[in-house]
Chain A
């Protein structure tokens, strides 16, 4: 019994930091409508700066002062980020905001390694809370008890701040209708900046308070952000009480899940989240959001079938690509195969997010599942390659069918967060379930059959599949199913009013996109000869998003060109620099802020401008503050 109580208290102590970070995320979202992906990064910087300060400053005052100073310093960084980056993208589509803040996260990950080195840092113990308390034979660290008390205290302070101060009243008003607040003479800019600073302060404080419990390391941002997303999905985005309750729930599920499923404890959290989503899709304490604009891009021009000339051009490009083995060496062909595979991946995501309006932040899950499908079939069942290629992607299909069912219950940022959380769960299973997946060591020795083994043959296989997939998905856009899907994207209510089952249509689209990604993953497994958990990791999911965004959200050719340019650039970049995340992160932010329409979008705009000199100014910056009308 005492053991369970101790376990319960450990869970409560973990909940404190989780609550701080989640409430910060919620507050920022409430007012600015931005889901701040970089929140985990601020948490991590808070921990690193607190580590340095508490090492330098001595005594109890030095420790606690260091913690608070670290949080304040990170809040200052947050203010700079808000003023320089976020102010430019408040009116951009959700996807762009998530990506920009993700780019920031990437940069921070490289920067902390540059400053503090790659090793784990073990911080000082908290003065006055160094010991443990004996509870019927169980040791309970006194610092844990401090954290258990701190959580509700912070909740109380936040409550007072929001209920009893003018600032809090303004923030709550802006959460509901920020234009009306401006129309009553309140400067929104500073309100947004102050809210962002408070949210970042909470995240950094959460990180700083972790140093006596956990080592500080450069991957702690992604770990916390996934948990935080799960917390706000369960608790309801925008609700501080919800963040508190859900933080406790998730932490307790983690604490006890380890006892029930030692290898895959995250399953328990997933199950609870699934139940909450079915019963209350907007979270325990959230409220249903008004249907937001779903358009993934800035403008969505009606799509049209290709003209005969464009068809010829596409065919010519394919023929030229097919002649590559005549003059290129094996390395170039391997790179070419990889690019073709990523074209499949990018096109499948593009179908989901542009045609379906569902921006997934965890699309790599289905790519990776396809790859693992191959690994299971080829290694364990010993099936020949052609059979594996046909059956392997079905694992991606299955994953997409299960997760997609829950994901399509939601839309917008909730959908993005949920897909990310699902992908991370699949990743955790692949990583932790060593008996089946080999864990971090992956599954090795997957080689293509002899007919596809030589680089030219494999290249032609990959290219052919990529061409088929692209043509099939594009044809689907103009099928009755494609029309229905686009109708649900543009107006869910109206499409339902004419008899379209929106959720079913979206679910189907999700499964199609997931299966297609699985085909890419299956080829990828054979190309690399191995499968690793990274094949379904977050960074791969974001790679796909960046490919689509770089090429241009609004056209299929954008996804294809984006995949080619991005993958080639990426392979080259990694060979050139150790700081690829820093460069890539900066690159993502640059695209979002300066070239939101991507390569193909830019080309089209230039072509149109030549036709008639109409000057649409920078579409992101010129967008006015208007309420929905």
Chain B
């Protein structure tokens, strides 16, 4: 098992946000975490990489419990995180943004170079020296994924990669994610958009009000339109 989350509870101040979240990701799998706005998808990701301090529960990554480790150590284990807000360094150029994400090669994960990433996202290759602040939303989304891949992760948490992008860019994003999968990166992708998730995912979990309320293959989800309609806005 690549990643196994058990009994994850998170708080922001006095507010209890996540309740006993549990899910698993297999080696090389793409798993979708589906849910509406505010369901707790981003908080789940932020909790896994240690950006939410008030959290309890077990997070096993490649057999090691990382739940008590600081963010940078979790990431250095090979668990990459792509935030929803993109959080590009706007003062830095594309190349410098990639440099911030660079980490040493890892034996059990594909190795990404600038050249390989520019092949994956051709737009970025054309604007190596442009500053992050002067890029479109789609270009920023590509850069934020490329930046995380520079850390040679074996698993990536992708937070709503299709949000706010034009259909054409979404298509590119699907291709990029499938390429990542083919290279051997395990992926957890959070989505509101079921159509997008269906194109890339092997399995899906549905999260609602901080609780996991469904887990299964895409086919199993399709067989339960009641669940789909109750928890996802289409």
Contact = CB atoms under 8 A, between A and B. Distances in A.
A626 B99 contact: no
Interface string B82-110: 01000101111000110111110000000
Contact of B89 (A180, A187, A623, A626): A180
A241 B101 CA distance: 27
In which size bucket is the chain A interface? 20 to 34
A300 interface: no
B81 interface: yes
A626 B101 CA distance: 20
Given A188-B72, A625-B53, A626-B51, A177 B99 contact: no
A185 B148 CA distance: 9
A172 B92 contact: yes
Contacts of A177: 87, 89
Contact of B71 (A166, A175, A183, A623): A183
Given A179-B51, A181-B100, A624-B53, A186 B91 contact: no
A627 B84 CA distance: 13
A185 B147 CA distance: 11
A182 B71 contact: yes
B52 A626 contact: yes
A173 B151 contact: no
B196 to A, nearest CB: 23
Contacts of A172: 89, 91-92, 96
Given A176-B89, A180-B83, A625-B71, A186 B51 contact: no
B51 A184 contact: no
A176 B131 CA distance: 13
Contacts of B81: 183
B75 A173 contact: no
A186 B72 contact: yes
B212 to A, nearest CB: 22
Nearest to A185: B75
A624 B96 CA distance: 28
A184 B100 CA distance: 7
Interface centre among A166, A169, A188 (most CB of B within 10 A): A169
A181 B91 CA distance: 14
Interface centre among A175, A180, A184 (most CB of B within 10 A): A184
In which size bucket is the chain B interface? 20 to 34
A176 B103 CA distance: 20
A184 B99 contact: no
Nearest to B132: A176
B29 to A, nearest CB: 22
B54 interface: yes
A295 to B, nearest CB: 13
A276 interface: no
Contacts of A179: 51, 71
A184 B151 contact: yes
Interface string A158-194: 0000000010011011011101111111111000000
Interface string A617-629: 0000011111101
Given A176-B90, A625-B71, A184 B52 contact: no
Interface centre among A169, A170, A172, A185 (most CB of B within 10 A): A185
B210 to A, nearest CB: 15
Nearest to A624: B53
A362 B70 CA distance: 39
Nearest to A622: B53
B126 to A, nearest CB: 21
Contact of A185 (B53, B72, B90, B97): B72
Interface string A87-129: 0000000000000000000000000000000000000000000
Contacts of A187: 72
A293 to B, nearest CB: 13
Interface string B157-198: 000000000000000000000000000000000000000000
Nearest to A299: B13
Interface centre among A172, A176, A180, A629 (most CB of B within 10 A): A180
A183 B91 contact: no
B145 to A, nearest CB: 12
A169 B92 contact: yes
Interface of A: 166, 169-170, 172-173, 175-177, 179-188, 622-627, 629
Which 4 A/B pairs are nearest by Cβ-Cβ distance? A624-B53, A185-B75, A182-B71, A180-B87
17 contacts: A169-B96, A173-B97, A176-B90, A176-B91, A176-B92, A177-B89, A180-B83, A180-B87, A182-B75, A183-B75, A183-B81, A184-B148, A185-B151, A188-B72, A623-B53, A625-B53, A626-B53
